[in-house]
Structure 1
Amino acid sequence: MIGTELTKQDNSPEHVFTGAGSYTGPVLADITCPDGTVHVTVDPAATVARVQVRTDDPTGPVAKAVKNTRIHQTAERLTIVVPPIPPTTQQFNHGGVFVSGNSYSTMQINGVTFSGQGTTVIGSTGVEVLVTLPARSGVKYISENGSIHTYGVLAALKAEATNGSVKAETVGRIEAEADNGSVKLYGVRNRSDLDVRASAGNGTVKEF
């Protein structure tokens, strides 16, 4: 049996999912998150996958995206789909930063609203997706303006982030593309046993 629920913490919505019963062990996490930040942790002690999608925006479009997130698992495939956050009057997207507003009212950067005097009116960290996976799991990730960070030993990572960034620790096989962002790979330098393919059209690729 697989459980999923929508909860609230400090008046902020979150979507929580825990795989249980029918399938344990490594999974392929297929993550689509156009505008948020994804953190994936591989925990050797974990036997099932766990997902938490959250925001500190209690009522706005980011909160709606959290509520409408779809999470399901079929055998060894875990699918997470976060809907895009709709644009407002004007928008500029670059490197995972979402800017909206107009010239005579307010400006919003990643959900943080500023008045003409630079005062913060409403704050939000945007959509955050926290994923915990068992050992030997892999990740497929697609985003427009978001970013992904992985921690621990991941079997494989395939990531596409148009205006975002990819940051990965130890990965056995990686294919990463960030057209206008950055790709940072740790634990890959001078490793002939790894399959690494990374590109960033207008951004940077760094291996450590």
Structure 2
Amino acid sequence: MTERTIPVDAIGPIALDLTMNAGSIRVTVDPALTQPRVVLKTEATSGPSADAIRDTTVHLTGQDLRVRVPDAAGGMCGSTTIRMGGSTMTFSGGNGVQIVGGNVYVSGSGGGKVFVNGREVTATGPAGDAVTPITAEVHLPAKSVALISTHSADTTVRGTLARLEYDGTSGALVADRVGDLDVTATSGSVIVNEVTGPLDANLTSGNLGIGAYSGHDARLNVTSGNVRMAATEQATGRLTVNATSGCARITGASHLNVRRRVTSGHVQIS
């Protein structure tokens, strides 16, 4: 395993700006924590993923922390991911896989190699290195904010973020509680249990679920996507919904100042 702990010489809440295109991102907000910590890890001890961890750039200016995890050479950018149950299959780089009569045939620009846990499997035994998933574990003090940009990384947020800006493509975001939420998602999934501040969501062919919204200004732009949101009695102000070939179902919002525009989509607000 390759593991790198990034020391953050700052005390108290920070503004995290993290870009990591693939793998998994785990953010934990701990009220008892005073100093942030970032840990990057992968199963491989060498190869493109280990190199990407070593080449990660970190810049700290005051309370602003900028982390850039480079794409691993031969990685999964520009890929297509299929999720079934708790499993995923990712296709990248052209050509493909065939299963015929119980035999597996792999074709591709890399020679049709097969890798298991980052090691190449050959007729004579394991050899070589491959891209293995990188995991970023981020520990933040209370009242921290985060900007997360990714292509296909799955992101989880445990605890309460004061603000979250999320830009994802074909990835999944699951968060406990967020103050201000600004989301741009394409072909991905976003589930947030609770939003207490302003909400701005731009969704294209993805899914957005908000368990409890109690903010004062919500704007939802949906294109070929699906939105499910439950407003609470504490929610106030305006709710704006623009849907094009999308579907939005919002409950508990009858007391809000609702504005909607629907083009070949379906919006239900109650």
Q: TM-score, normalised by structure 1?
A: 0.77
User: Which of 156, 159, 165 pairs up with 1:158?
Assistant: 165
Larger proportion of strand: 2
Alignment of 1:1-208 (within 5 A): 12-20=1-9, 23-87=10-74, 92-94=79-81, 98-100=90-92, 103-104=106-107, 105-106=112-113, 126-188=133-195, 193-208=196-211
Aligned partners of 1:146 and 1:114: how far apart in 2? 26
- The DSSP-based 3-state class of the residue aligned with 1:58 is coil
1:112-153 deviations in Å (ceiling 9; x for gaps): 8788xxxxx989750100010111000001112212211101
Contiguous gaps of at least 5 residues in structure 2: 83-87, 96-105, 123-127, 212-270
Q: Is the 8 A contact 1:110 1:124 kept in 2?
A: no
Identity %: 29
Q: Hey, what's the Cα distance between the residues in 2 that align with 1:177 and 1:109? A: 34
SS at match of 2:178: strand
What CA distance in whole angstroms lies between the structure 2 residues aligned with 1:199 and 1:133?
26
2:118 and 2:188 map into 1 onto residues whose CA distance is 20
- SS of match in other structure, 1:26: coil
Q: Equivalents in 2 of 1:171, 1:75: separation in Å? A: 23
How far, CA to CA, are the matches of 1:200 and 1:97 in structure 2? 23
Q: CA separation in 1, counterparts of 2:209 and 2:116?
A: 27
Instruction: Quote how far apart the aligned CAs of 1:207 are.
Output: 1.6
**2:79 partner amino acid:** F
Greater RCO (Cα-Cα under 8 Å, separation 6 or more) = 1
Secondary structure at 2:51 match in 1: helix
Q: Which runs of 5+ in 1 are unaligned?
A: 1-11, 116-120
The answer on whether the counterparts of 1:18 and 1:51 sit within 8 Å (CA) in structure 2 is: yes
In structure 2, C-alpha distance between the alignment counterparts of 1:206 and 1:65, rounded to whole Å: 33
Larger Rg: 2
Q: What's the counterpart of residue 4 of structure 1? A: none
Residue type of the alignment partner of 1:182: S
Cα distance in 2 between the residues matched to 1:143 and 1:43: 23
Number of the residue aligned with 2:102: none
Residue by residue, what CA displacement relative to the aligned partner does 1:40-85 show, whole Å, maximum 9, x if unpaired?
1111111111000110012221111111111232211011110012
Q: Across the two proteins, how many residue pairs are aligned to each other?
A: 186
Output the CA distance in 1 between the equivalents of 2:192 and 2:175: 5
Other-structure match for 1:6: none
Name the CA distance, whole Å, in 2 between partners of 1:127 and 1:66.
8
Q: Aligned partners of 1:122, 1:68: CA distance in 2, in Å?
A: 17
Match of 1:187, SS?
strand
3-state SS, counterpart of residue 152 of structure 1? strand
